[in-house]
Amino acid sequence: MNTKKAVSLVLAVSVMSLAAASCEETKVYADDEIIDLAAQGADYVRAREVAHLASISSGFFQDDKTGWEEKLDFSTHSALYDDDTRAVFAAVCQGMGYDVDVSSVTVDDKAGKGSILVEFSPLDYDAVFDNGPCNDAQSIIESLSSCPRKDVEIVFTFEIEDGEWKVSNPDEILEEIYGYVDMDLELMPDLTVSDYWFEWDCAFSESSHLAVNTPFLSCYYMPYEVDDISGMYYVLTKDGEEYYSDLCDDGNVFISALGPGEPYAPDDLNMPAGEYSIAFYDGADRLLYEDSITVIEADDTMQINTIWYEEDACWGGYALYDDASSFAVQPMNSWGDPSRDQYFTITYDGEIIYTGYAGWNAGSMYASDVSPDNWIWDPGVYTVEYHYNDTDAVLLTAVVIVTENGVGPDGTFLGAFEGLNVTNLGLSINMYEDMANAFWYSDDIGTAAENGILTDAASLTYRIPVQEDYGTIEYVITYSEDGSAEVPYNTGFTASAEMQTDADGNMYYEFSYDGTVEPGYYGITVGGELHPEFYAFSICHVQ
Return the amino acid letter for 149: R
CATH 2.60.40.1930 correct for 300-406: yes
Domain extent listing, the chain: 23-182, 191-296, 300-406, 418-543
Please determine, for residue 307, whether its predicted confidence score (pLDDT) is greater than 50. Answer: yes
Contact 378, 404 (CB under 8 A): yes
Regarding beta strands 313-315 and 318-322, do their DSSP bridges make them parallel or antiparallel, or are they unpaired?
antiparallel
Please determine, for residue 299, whether its predicted confidence score (pLDDT) is greater than 60. Answer: no
Please determine, for residue 1, whether its predicted confidence score (pLDDT) is greater than 60. Answer: no
**pLDDT range class, residue 205, cuts 50, 70, 90:** low
In order of 93, 152, 203, 267, the CA distances from 97 in angstroms are 9, 11, 60, 70
Regarding beta strands 216-223 and 421-423, do their DSSP bridges make them parallel or antiparallel, or are they unpaired?
unpaired
Stretch 280-308: mean pLDDT: 76
Contact 169, 271 (CB under 8 A): no
pLDDT in tens, 75-133: 888 788 888 888 899 999 988 999 999 999 999 988 999 999 999 999 998 888 876 55
- Whole-angstrom Cα distance, residue 288 to residue 466? 46
**pLDDT range class, residue 531, cuts 50, 70, 90:** confident
Where is average pLDDT lowest: 146-150, 394-398, 408-412, 468-472? 394-398
Stretch 290-306: mean pLDDT: 69
Q: Could you tell me which CATH class the domain 23-182 is placed in?
A: alpha beta
Q: Is the whole-model pTM more than 0.75?
A: no
pLDDT in tens, 475-512: 999 999 999 998 999 989 999 999 999 999 999 999 99
pLDDT at 284: 76
Where is average pLDDT lowest: 160-174, 189-203, 233-247, 487-501? 189-203
The three-state secondary structure class of 502 is coil
How many of the other CB atoms lie within 10 Å of CB of 189?
A: 23
Contact 292, 275 (CB under 8 A): yes
**pLDDT range class, residue 305, cuts 50, 70, 90:** low
Contact 448, 457 (CB under 8 A): no
**pLDDT range class, residue 11, cuts 50, 70, 90:** very low
Please determine, for residue 440, whether its predicted confidence score (pLDDT) is greater than 70. Answer: yes
Contact 190, 84 (CB under 8 A): yes
Domains 23-182 and 300-406 share a fold: no
Contact 174, 256 (CB under 8 A): no
> Which residues are registered as beta bridge partners of 500?
508
Highest mean pLDDT among 28-42, 137-151, 348-362, 484-498: 484-498
Which superfamily does 191-296 belong to? Answer: Immunoglobulins (2.60.40.10)
* CATH node for 418-543: 2.60.40
Beta strands in 297-335 (DSSP E): 306-309, 313-315, 318-322, 326-331
Please determine, for residue 206, whether its predicted confidence score (pLDDT) is greater than 60. Answer: no
